[in-house]
Structure 1
């Protein structure tokens, strides 16, 4: 039986976070059901989306497919699969919803289709190594998908010699396949492979409006180090011929057809911190033209209608929808109000209605719909009912000047009963990226139990340090050849600005972060005496170690300008271990065992260097994980380890034995 939820809120967002009295426990924070990936039906009357919940018994997060009427608010749960689903897509006629999943939790991910009118999902694909992505043809009669093609020669090699990889030569490249939907609804199909050879690995793709061609981006290999080789191609299905349309230096990706099929719009990039731009090129090849040259942020394509291109972009701590006039290159903001934090934008076929997820400082992210022209959002979901009993802090944007005069923003989270005449502990939480951004919204990341500290009487400052998204190209470039150094200025100056206001206890200040935030925290632990305790999550401790071991070596060159042999001085300037003789701050190090992005050697190196100098240090390795800790039980451990560490050094609680999991004051 389909589960039904009735009701439709006409308010912009509920103010639920102001009335609760109970501080949430860690397991409650990790058990929040979350809405994501909204997909508006072609006629704009229904919204499909994923609802992710926590399966503690299986130790995983599971996403199920839901369908909600955009007018009445009636919602139905469509799938109940043990391992969940992903990538929901409407058929062009709106009668089917496709998704990627497995058969009874076994085998490789395949494309399934579910009739909106009811019935069981039908498996459409039978890709031997599973489906990476897929798209319906404009008439709904065919399905294109990407998958790796089985490498029989490698299978024979491994059978004789065991498994091994030749570094940066052994790859499973993605190819394009096309199948007939009617046939696949009778028996799952292996599509016809339409891109041949090993010259490329296919990424994003889109059907032409007439269904005669597919535009796609491809790079030489699926390895991130070859991302700069990505170019734009068009596959003509009648002849299986492929034409290179854009072959400029630098990565070019995410191609989309104009409504009349004569042009392609794509994203043109240079490196990690310069603005990416949307550009257009004739579909048959020719000169390309940047159409967002005057827009000072990173545009993310949403849709191309007869009224122009719609794209989303970060604007400081907000996130909005914009319309681009392709001919004139002019950009107009569509959404509002100014602080709107929207994501997951999805439009109806006529681009008159939009569905999206709306975040807020006082409520959980909710599903919303709006008419594009008037943009008066209506909230469809009731996610925030999960936290009505919770006591949560208030969130506001604050600004200060860094050491070099750069304006920095952050999010200050205060206890609900904040009294400026008191002295509060201050915990800094630093986002990753570096081109991430923190916003004054709920919920917080599943790494640091922010509101538990706030409810105990602490302030939390989230710092949008130089390099963060949303503040323009110049701001993102301020940490070029200045990584760590300038970032640390931004954090410490923020701490000093709040101390100057008189409500922060300077003896009880801490810092923590993951990835780039972990690197900045590592830099602070060896260069500053401001902090009583620090936590380094998957952070870089030595850029030389990072450069030689990471899977994204070009990132280092982009930001530091040279390799370690060509310019050893810049690597010394920006590496926390080079300042370790100054370290005194007790430091917790957390790292995934299998991290290829920031290899775990960085954690071991920092731990040993601190121990050698008598600095209190603990290192915890989370087994089986890479750069992110992705399962609920291990996320529970991450949060509890951080809670115990800072409860001891900031609040004076006894230090638990980390070799045993014990209850921690929450």
Structure 2
């Protein structure tokens, strides 16, 4: 197989990190699997305050507000003893919105997070939307104007001139499982609601595209197995149809809309492989050409950067995060920041952007470092520096102990280009024992050039980590995505195998390899042991799909949350339970236990609704029946993943010990 290097633009300026001749003891698991010291960070509308989520000084993640004026104080705006603050937004200069989640139960998606508002100084705390689960916080308002749990934040529009700007826009989700949404305005100080006006909008909306004032300008609806897009052009009162297509054949995606009504969509231009961002051309009734943003080699995925009604640019993702600035002032500021902080990605959020008195929040990070936050103030007080360090995202992480991450493009056995991520300890010599880490989904992107806790944890123990973006993965072109349809255990698995064999041929990986993953990645780990039993010395599968028939057909006796996908997408993407029964059986791990030779670690959440525990029990019993019982662990109170700190650490330590037994690094590495 041939190989070509595909490195992100910042790779040429990577920091040169050197290790001594003798490797120090690896960092403990807590370094990789504890919560961030700084989670979310949001500048207020004026840029005078900074909201941060952090658990420092408390047992749970709370909300603090830093006054950025000289001598400004740090105020704890809210703190719960039994839940964690998340999804923070500023409503106006004095008021914030947030949800309460339980980070020890994040694998349980059935818990509604609720919605709360509070003043920046911690006063006037109010519940706006109920949160399900345990008692968590006392608002003390005694008000019964609280919306039910099926409301979520949709947008925080900019205030109109002369208005206080206390309102936010929520989406009320239907309870019939169809995902339809009805917007409603809520006053974040009083809890009072009012109707949302979208005259003439079609029924059955599952996506609302709003301008900065909270006005609906485009919608996506779902009827049966088809989706329809509609648009309200500038200056018109009649909604115009854009397309009507099957779920998996939409000609473009609705991305955003400007205050002036300009609609932005992403699509794959004719004759090209990757999606781009474009304005919608009303006259041509199609995306405009040329596109606004391309990410060569990658599908467009990004968020719009606006300063009030102004579109400044787009934060997109190629092999790394990249800011595409349309504003000349911000282009120059980005270049200045990149010169000051070389070898790093520097993500900018700003207020009064590109103006002399601009305030900017910069998250500066790379593959070795989760990052550090800085604030730039264009007009600081006399004697105050323009740049101010806020803090490190993870203080316990020592970048000098972390590994480098690189993206390669190889050629799979059938000629398909295959992106492969390689995480390898700095200074390592010669081939290393390998862990093939397969991402979940499978219809998602695996990773990007940044610090990743699992890959770094494994690499810190002396292994090279191989992460293939096998066919079916998103982000690498529509053809790459669709090439994975009905290929579970087949061409998708061949891609995983080819990635390891390539790494071995390149001298990166030795002949000692283990395959690991969660969810679909766990399925791939099981199939790797069954399909290539002589290639792997061990396998680690967590929350793994093990029974394809149970996945695509379901069971009255096994509750799950896959009903809508089972009707709309799984028949085409995995297989039809009737027409493809033989193919599904041939690639179902529970039926292939006799082919598995290597030791296996199996781990499941006992309350998982995405991949129910029945998958694990059936796989465990099938292996026991052929005389090769796996190492088994199941975690109570966990869903699709392990959220409780004690469970995360327990699984990491089990994995570390399991790899050490079956895949010990060679002496001197």
TM-score, normalisation: structure 2: 0.71
* CA contact 1:269–1:275 (8 Å) conserved in 2: yes
Matches within 5 A, 1:394-473: 394-420=404-430, 424-434=432-442, 435-445=444-454, 450-451=456-457, 453-473=458-478
Which residue does 1:85 correspond to in 2?
85
State the alpha-carbon separation in 2 of the partners of residues 617 and 70 from structure 1: 59
Q: Measure how far apart 1:473 and its partner are.
A: 3.2
TM-score, normalisation: structure 1: 0.71
Q: Measure how far apart 1:524 and its partner are.
A: 0.2
* CA contact 2:277–2:293 (8 Å) conserved in 1: no
State the alpha-carbon separation in 1 of the partners of residues 426 and 73 from structure 2: 35
Structure 1 residue corresponding to 2:526, chosen from 501, 522, 529 = 522
Which residue does 1:383 correspond to in 2?
393
Distance 1:575 1:632, change over 3 A: same
| 1:487 lines up with 2:492 in the alignment | yes
* CA contact 1:15–1:363 (8 Å) conserved in 2: no
Distance 1:137 1:487, change over 3 A: closer
Structure 1 residue corresponding to 2:366, chosen from 356, 360, 369 = 360
* CA contact 2:29–2:649 (8 Å) conserved in 1: yes
| 1:541 lines up with 2:546 in the alignment | yes
State the alpha-carbon separation in 1 of the partners of residues 528 and 658 from structure 2: 17
Which residue does 1:319 correspond to in 2?
321
Distance 1:474 1:108, change over 3 A: closer
* CA contact 1:46–1:67 (8 Å) conserved in 2: yes
| 1:145 lines up with 2:169 in the alignment | yes
Which residue does 2:287 correspond to in 1?
289
Which residue does 2:31 correspond to in 1?
28
Which residue does 1:248 correspond to in 2?
244
* CA contact 1:136–1:142 (8 Å) conserved in 2: no
Q: Measure how far apart 1:203 and its partner are.
A: 4.7
Matches within 5 A, 1:270-349: 278=277, 287=285, 289=287, 292=291, 295=294, 296-303=298-305, 310-316=313-319, 318-323=320-325, 346-348=349-351
| 1:39 lines up with 2:42 in the alignment | yes
SS of equivalent residue, structure 2 residue 433: strand
Which residue does 1:4 correspond to in 2?
none
State the alpha-carbon separation in 1 of the partners of residues 438 and 631 from structure 2: 20
Deviation per residue, 1:167-210 (Å, 9 max, x gap): xx46796432224x4xx53x43345476899953655553554x
Name the stretch that deviates more: 290-299 or 642-651: 290-299
CA RMSD after TM alignment: 4.8
* CA contact 1:13–1:363 (8 Å) conserved in 2: no
Distance 1:610 1:379, change over 3 A: farther
* CA contact 1:277–1:290 (8 Å) conserved in 2: no
Which residue does 2:152 correspond to in 1?
132
Q: Measure how far apart 1:533 and its partner are.
A: 0.6
Which residue does 1:257 correspond to in 2?
257
| 1:123 lines up with 2:123 in the alignment | no
Structure 2 residue corresponding to 1:624, chosen from 637, 648, 653 = 637
Distance 1:138 1:634, change over 3 A: same
SS of equivalent residue, structure 1 residue 386: coil
Give ranges in structure 2 of 5+ residues lacking alignment.
1-12, 102-110, 129-144, 379-385, 555-561
Name the stretch that deviates more: 643-652 or 43-52: 43-52
Which residue does 1:165 correspond to in 2?
none
State the alpha-carbon separation in 2 of the partners of residues 242 and 625 from structure 1: 48
Q: Measure how far apart 1:578 and its partner are.
A: 5.1
Distance 1:623 1:541, change over 3 A: same
State the alpha-carbon separation in 2 of the partners of residues 293 and 389 from structure 1: 36
Which residue does 1:663 correspond to in 2?
none
SS of equivalent residue, structure 1 residue 127: coil
Length, aligned pairs only:
578
Which residue does 1:557 correspond to in 2?
571
Which residue does 1:584 correspond to in 2?
597
State the alpha-carbon separation in 2 of the partners of residues 13 and 426 from structure 1: 24
Which residue does 1:497 correspond to in 2?
502
* CA contact 2:526–2:546 (8 Å) conserved in 1: yes
State the alpha-carbon separation in 1 of the partners of residues 112 and 471 from structure 2: 44
Name the stretch that deviates more: 514-523 or 18-27: 18-27
Q: Measure how far apart 1:280 and its partner are.
A: 5.1
State the alpha-carbon separation in 2 of the partners of residues 42 and 107 from structure 1: 28
* CA contact 1:144–1:176 (8 Å) conserved in 2: no
State the alpha-carbon separation in 1 of the partners of residues 440 and 293 from structure 2: 27
Deviation per residue, 1:412-457 (Å, 9 max, x gap): 333445232xx63222222223322233432414xx7x53x54443
